[in-house]
């Protein structure tokens, strides 16, 4: 197994308390103000991808996934919601499900009406 190949439980363990969704985090590279990240669960595995406006999710190597997973794991529940809200404000997409925010109230919240009701 290479260092960029995920172990079966590495991200699952790190992301235990991190909900699936879309997050805006302060940039670690210094090239931008924010890094946009998507966390998702598929077939029992957890994935962390960059989100690039206009391109959507893009694959990143496991070592980089792990860095973002560690950052997200260190946030409180309220900080998760704030990072998701910031994603929605910045990109006009729901911080929970990633769908376009189509009205002013949803854009102000950073979440669409269905996802807002689950917070």
Summarised one tens digit per residue, pLDDT across range 28-70 is 767 779 999 999 998 888 899 999 877 888 999 999 999 999 9
CA pseudo-torsion sign 63, 64, 68, 74: positive
In this predicted structure, the answer to whether residue 11 has a pLDDT above a threshold of 50 is yes
Residue-number span of the structural domain to which 105 is assigned: 10-116
Predicted TM-score of the model (pTM): 0.87
Q: Which residue has the higher pLDDT, 19 or 10?
A: 19
In this predicted structure, the answer to whether residue 5 has a pLDDT above a threshold of 80 is no
Decide if 82 is inside a domain: yes
Q: Which residue has the higher pLDDT, 20 or 11?
A: 20
In this predicted structure, the answer to whether residue 2 has a pLDDT above a threshold of 60 is no
Domain count along the chain: 1
Helix ranges (H only) for 1-119 are 10-14, 62-73, 77-91, 104-109, 113-116
Decide if 84 is inside a domain: yes
């Amino acid at each position: 197994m290479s260092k960029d190949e995920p172990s079966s439980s590495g991200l699952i363990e790190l992301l235990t308390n991190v909900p699936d969704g879309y997050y805006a985090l302060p940039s670690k590279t210094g090239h931008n103000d924010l890094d946009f990240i998507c966390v998702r669960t598929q077939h029992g595995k957890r994935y962390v991808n960059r989100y690039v406006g206009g391109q959507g999710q893009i694959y990143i190597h496991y070592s980089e996934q792990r860095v973002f997973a560690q950052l997200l794991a260190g946030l409180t529940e309220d900080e998760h919601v704030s990072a998701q809200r910031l994603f929605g404000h910045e990109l006009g997409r729901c911080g929970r499900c990633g769908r376009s925010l189509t009205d002013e109230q949803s854009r102000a919240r950073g979440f669409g009406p269905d996802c807002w009701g689950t917070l």
